[in-house]
Amino acid sequence: MRPCGAAVERLPELPEVETTRRGIERALVGRRVQELHIYDARLRWPIAHDLPRQLAGQRILAVGRRAKYLLLQFERGTLIMHLGMSGSLRVLPARTPAGKHDQFDLVLEDGALLRLNDPRRFGSIHYTSEAPEQHKLLRHLAPEPFADDFNADYLWRITRGRRAAIKQVLMNGRLVTGVGNIYASEALFRARVNPRRAASRLTRAECAKLVRAIRAVLTLAIRAGGTTLRDYVGTDGNPGYFRRRLYVYERAGRACRVCGAPVRRITQGQRSTYLCSQCQH
């Protein structure tokens, strides 16, 4: 067994999902589905019983992402997948025996298969023949860090009049999607902004700095193979290595990598926040 951390800290976040997307893209695009084999249809919502019939024979045209949803684009529709709290996808050789918590295999004509394993079953899978961005799960999602509409102006606008702490605003999925707990702490450190500051008190320049910091930290995490998480395993089975490059996250009591003062841990909205009081104002 791999070690398990506190459940709330080990959600696959945007970098993990993007890493998964990149990991499965090459194996999937251009391939045709032979069958969808469901081992256990119980996810957050049950897998539709006619899904195997819908997908059989269709070619996969692209593998995209919106927030933490993976979008498998087929000839006649799109599969919208969410990894929930504990889901992982692997590309495996055909006839690899299924194990505990394996939900389904998407079997491809060339002999490979895409397998979903989700011990806690909070993941989801939906098929739509409409434009996926109009699907009820995606329609109301806030801008995400890499989108053009997430910029200094946007952050400035949504923080005006908001007395909530800036960390809470970054974690509010109705305002920004995809900045999880780890990356919020790290980005605020890089921008030198104290996570407890009232959002409305950020200057225009700090909003610009924070947008750059959020993108930088997510880009680094994706480049490092996605994950900092204890028991998250990328599509190739290797844990990510971004953890070593964290400035504050889970470094309470250790020396700040910039000034040497001890990193502090506080609680905001029942989640841990890490900061350096010397560096962040």
For Zn ion, the closer of residues 29 and 216 by Cβ is 216
Give min distance, CB of 172 to Zn ion, in A: 26
Catalytic-residue membership of 22: no
Query: Interface with Zn ion by CB under 5 A: which range of 46-54, 94-102, 222-230, 259-267?
Result: 259-267
Cα–Cα dist 75/62, whole Å? 10
Provide the minimum distance between the beta carbon of 278 and Zn ion in the complex, in angstroms, as a whole number: 4
Complete edge-to-edge strand list for the sheet that includes strand 33-38:
33-38, 102-108, 112-117, 88-93
54 within 8 A of 67, measured Cβ to Cβ: no
- Asked if residue 277 binds Zn ion (CB under 5 A), the reply is no
Pairing of strands 60-66, 69-74: antiparallel
Which single residue brings its beta carbon nearest to Zn ion? Answer: 256
Region near Zn ion per CB under 5 A, out of 115-123, 156-164, 214-222, 269-277: 269-277
- Count CA within 13 A, CB hemisphere, residue 255: 4
Count of residues touching Zn ion (by CB under 5 A): 6
Stretch that binds Zn ion, among 9-17, 224-232, 236-244, 272-280 (CB under 5 A): 272-280
Minimum distance from residue 277 beta carbon to Zn ion (Å)? 8
**DSSP β-ladder status, 271-275 and 264-268:** antiparallel
| Maximum alpha-carbon separation in the chain | 60
Tell me if 255 contacts Zn ion by CB under 5 A.
no
List 155, 246, 256, 275, residue binding Zn ion (CB under 5 A): 256
Asked if 100 is an active-site residue, the reply is no
Compute the distance between CA of residue 86 and CA of residue 6 in angstroms, rounded to an integer.
12
12 is catalytic: yes
Catalytic-labelled residue, pool 12, 15, 145, 195: 12
- Burial pattern 20-47, b for ≥16 Cβ within 10 A else e, equals bbbbbbebbeebebbbbebebeebeeeb
Closest CA to 206 of 274, 131, 281, 145: 281
**Which residues, numbered 195-254, are part of the site for Zn ion (CB under 5 A)?**
none
> 15 an active-site residue?
no
**Residues annotated catalytic, as ranges:** 12-13, 68, 271
Residues in touch with Zn ion (CB under 5 A):
256, 258-259, 276, 278-279
